[in-house]
Structure 1
Amino acid sequence: MKNPVVKYVGIGFILYAVFAASVLTFYEDDPDQMNWEDRQSYNLKFINKLNLDHLHTIESIVEQLGAPDITEARKNKDTTLQVMFYRTKHAKSDGITTKDECTPLLFKNGKLIAWGITAFEQYNAL
């Protein structure tokens, strides 16, 4: 009697492990479908992995993080500057996302050139 129970538990465990591995391997995160806490955490982890050695464009960032929470842009002669704010830290439960709850990403002519506190300072200075 013990043998069939152990057998079924083992089969169940193996099926569960295969299912879990499949979900983790093939299911892509979709920031637009996440609740705000998960999206905030996802944004922070993604932004913390950014580096300037890799070319990041506005399109590639939006593809990974979804639409920004706040965005600003301006054009000076042939230079287009855009700063996109992604929520990365919760400050106040008021249902409104503010810039102090976000990490700014600065793009020059569609290419990422800076992120973090200095990115918005650079945007204002340029």
Structure 2
Amino acid sequence: MKKLLLATALLSSTALTGCVVAVTDGEYNGHHSWKKEQRENREKISQLKIGTEYQSVLNKLGTPEYTDMVSKGDTVYQVLYFATNSKHSDGVVTKDECTPLLFKDSKLVGFGDTALAHLL
């Protein structure tokens, strides 16, 4: 009886072993999704107009990767950083892989490294 149980257990385990096939839409573990998201961010940013409201930008682009507040004189600026130019996906987005958007009084006053450099 023990031999029969052992043989059944061995045969069952080999019958249950198999191959797992993952079906995706071409974006394995988000590999391509970050490229798509960054391309879309670049497109959306390029369509922004000076004076666009802060909340409107958030509605259009979503949550930024980073945010800063900078005070210069009596004026407070908000800076939102959106991922736009990563070269590879290592799971970490740094500020140098982002485009900064500059707001004064909740209105867009510029974007890009040049705009940020003028502020500082």
Asked if the contact 1:86–1:103 (Cα under 8 Å) also holds between the matched residues in 2, the reply is: yes
Q: Secondary structure at the match of 2:118?
A: helix
Q: Secondary structure at the match of 1:103?
A: strand
Map of 2:13 onto structure 1: none
Q: Does 1:99 align with 2:95?
A: yes
The structure with the greater share of residues assigned to helix is 1
- What's the CA shift for 1:64? 0.3
Q: What stretches of structure 1 of length at least 5 have no aligned partner?
A: 1-34
- What's the CA shift for 1:90? 1.5
Q: Which amino acid aligns with 1:48?
A: S
Map of 2:76 onto structure 1: 80
TM-score, normalised to structure 2, is 0.65
1:82-109 residue CA offsets vs partner (Å, 9 max, x unmatched)? 1111111112432111111111110011
- Paired residues, number: 88
Identical aligned residues as a percent: 39
Map of 1:61 onto structure 2: 57
TM-score, normalised to structure 1, is 0.62
